[in-house]
C-alpha cells in the first residue's frame, strides 16, 4: 500500500483553494456588475410611476375645473328656455301700458288708475324677478349697432348722429349671463359721420 505524498496533497489543497478563490472573485464581480443594472431598472420604474402619478393628478385637476365650469354654466343658464318664454309676457305687459294714451293715464282716476298702477307694478316685479335669475334688458339706443346683440329692422336717414348708431328701439333685447337671450330690434342711423369705436369693445 502506497502512502500519500504529503507534498502532492498540499499542492492539491492549494489548487482547490485557489480555484475557490477565483470562483468567489468571479461571483463577486458578476454581482457587482448586476447591481448597477438593477439600480437603473428601479430608477426607470420610479420615474415612470412618478410621471404617471403627475399625469393622473393633472387630469384630475382638469376634470375638477371642467366640472366646476359646467356646474356654474348649468346654474347660470338653466332657466334660459323658461326666461325666453317669459319675455313674451313682459312684452305683452309693456304693450298693455303703451296702449293707454298719455292723456288718459295722466287724468286716470278710480278703477282705471288702479288698473294702470297694477300693471306697472307687475312689470317692475317681473323685471326684478328676471334680473334675480341673471336676465337683464338691453337698451341700446344711442349705442353703436352690434350685430351680436341687435337686429336691424330699418335704417333712418339722420346726418346729426354717426352712421351705424341705434336711434330707435322697437323691442328690447335681453341677455342671460354673457349670452344673448333675445336681440333688440332696432332702427339704425345712416348718412351721418362714420361711427367711432364702441366703448364696450374697448373695455
Q: Using one digit for the tens of pLDDT, what is the confidence trace for 4-25?
A: 555 556 656 666 666 666 656 5
Q: Using one digit for the tens of pLDDT, what is the confidence trace for 15-69?
A: 666 666 665 655 555 555 567 788 888 888 899 999 999 999 999 999 999 998 8
Which residues, 6 or more positions from 135, have their beta carbon under 8 angstroms from its beta carbon? 79, 83, 86, 174, 175, 176, 181
pTM strictly above 0.85 = no
Q: Which CATH class is domain 135-196?
A: mainly beta
Backbone angles phi, psi at 183, to 5 degrees: -70, 150
Residue of 182, 188, 105, 112 lying closest to 154 (CA atoms): 188
Show the CA angle centred on residue 54, arms to residues 52 and 55, nearest 5°.
65
Q: Using one digit for the tens of pLDDT, what is the confidence trace for 117-174?
A: 999 999 999 999 999 988 999 889 989 999 999 999 999 888 888 888 999 999 889 9
Amino acid at each position: 500500500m502506497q502512502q500519500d505524498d504529503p507534498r502532492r496533497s498540499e499542492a492539491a489543497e492549494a489548487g482547490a483553494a485557489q480555484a475557490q478563490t477565483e470562483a468567489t472573485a468571479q461571483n463577486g464581480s458578476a454581482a457587482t456588475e448586476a447591481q448597477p443594472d438593477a439600480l437603473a431598472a428601479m430608477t426607470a420604474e420610479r420615474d415612470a410611476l412618478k410621471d404617471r402619478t403627475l399625469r393622473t393628478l393633472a387630469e384630475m385637476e382638469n376634470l375638477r375645473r371642467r366640472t366646476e365650469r359646467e356646474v356654474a354654466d348649468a346654474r347660470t343658464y338653466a332657466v334660459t328656455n323658461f326666461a325666453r318664454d317669459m319675455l313674451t309676457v313682459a312684452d305683452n305687459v309693456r304693450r298693455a301700458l303703451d296702449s293707454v294714451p298719455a292723456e288718459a293715464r295722466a287724468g286716470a282716476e278710480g278703477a282705471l288708475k288702479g288698473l294702470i298702477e297694477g300693471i306697472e307694478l307687475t312689470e317692475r316685479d317681473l323685471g326684478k324677478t328676471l334680473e334675480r335669475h341673471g336676465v337683464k334688458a338691453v337698451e341700446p339706443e344711442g349705442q353703436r349697432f352690434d350685430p351680436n346683440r341687435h337686429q336691424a329692422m330699418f335704417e333712418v336717414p339722420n346726418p346729426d348722429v354717426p352712421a351705424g348708431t341705434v336711434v330707435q328701439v322697437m323691442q328690447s333685447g335681453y341677455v342671460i349671463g354673457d349670452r344673448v337671450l333675445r336681440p333688440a330690434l332696432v332702427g339704425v342711423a345712416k348718412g351721418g359721420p362714420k361711427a367711432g369705436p364702441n366703448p364696450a369693445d374697448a373695455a
